[in-house]
Amino acid sequence: MGWVKQLAAHYPEASVPDLTSRQVLDFLIHLQNQRELASSTLNQALCSLRTLYRDHLGRSWKIWSKLKIKRSEPLPHVLTREEVARLLATFRDGRYRALFTLIYQCGLRLNEALHIRPTDINRSTLSLRIRHRHAKGGHERIVPLPAGLIERLRRFWMWHRNPDWLFPAPGRGWKGSGLSLRQALHDSRKPMSDSAAWMAFKIGKTQSGLDTQHDKLVIHTLRHSYATHMLEGGASIRQIAAYLGHRSLKPTLVYLHLTEVSEAKARAALGTLAGLNPAHNPR
């Protein structure tokens, strides 16, 4: 309604339902060029007016696709390797340290990590299967697992031995049930909840002191940090895209803007280009 009022104020001599498609488009162009609104705000205005004229007034106008809105995509927020180690060290509960270490070292989404089953881990191939029903977009994939992480996850699972989940939920009433945490995890038929993971992460980032340095620090930051650190370590962009479960390279390419490539490395690469080796110069 706010955008309808602004449209009416822009054309004080006319009735809003009587405006032509050209007039409405001119108003949107005015918002874009003269008022220089942010992309998200401009899109909000477009959607509001489209809802009015298309859905309520039944106008089959074609103007809505004529306004080109350039959407800004902010760079992902990442931690340094030292900051990741500092954060993970604050989780004293083995469940949460194992969970967040897995998310970082495999670049997983939270929902993917919470629904890992013991049978998804292949010790012989050092790999982890991400099931399609829990992966974004429904695409199953295989990601490599560091040998040290496999051993950590194995020790954790051997402790609770839940047949269904690597990270089971003990349940809200387990403390008053007389059961130990170990037994409650073993008997559980549900995975850890998102809220439990978020609560633990919030406490961890506060205890690590990183919350004062990184106001955008969330669980997904660990996944962004994985991708950036893998690129810095020499992994190819195609490999990382496959590990992250991206169907194209476009969402993965953003991490190239976050990697630190020294000038010395760039000059070393330049020296390997064909024709730059003096020994091959016939003169």
| Separation CA 254–CA 3 (nearest Å) | 34
The candidate with the shortest Cα–Cα distance to 87, out of 77, 101, 105, 106, is 101
Question: Which token pair is 197?
Answer: 């993971």
**223 is a catalytic site residue:** yes
Question: Which token pair is 241?
Answer: 């895209």
Contacts of 74 (CB under 8 A, 6+ apart): none
| Separation CA 69–CA 103 (nearest Å) | 34
For 89, half-sphere exposure in the C-beta direction (CA atoms, 13 angstrom radius) is: 9
List 115, 134, 223, 224, catalytic entry? 223
List 134, 160, 224, 246, catalytic entry? 246
- In 10 A of CB 197, how many CB atoms? 22
Q: How many residues does the chain have?
A: 283
Contact (CB, 8 A) for 1 and 52: no
Beta bridge partners of 122: 127
Q: Which amino acid is at 170?
A: P
**109 is a catalytic site residue:** yes
List 129, 152, 214, 220, catalytic entry? 220
**220 is a catalytic site residue:** yes
List 66, 136, 182, 265, catalytic entry? 136
The candidate with the shortest Cα–Cα distance to 185, out of 157, 210, 213, 144, is 157
**255 is a catalytic site residue:** yes
List 59, 109, 152, 202, catalytic entry? 109
User: DSSP secondary structure string, 1-37?
Assistant: -HHHHHHHHHSTTS-GGG--HHHHHHHHHHHHHTS--
User: Where does the chain have alpha helices with state H?
Assistant: 2-10, 21-33, 39-50, 81-88, 94-106, 110-114, 147-160, 181-187, 194-208, 220-232, 237-244, 250-253, 263-270
* Residues involved in catalysis: 109, 136, 220, 223, 246, 255
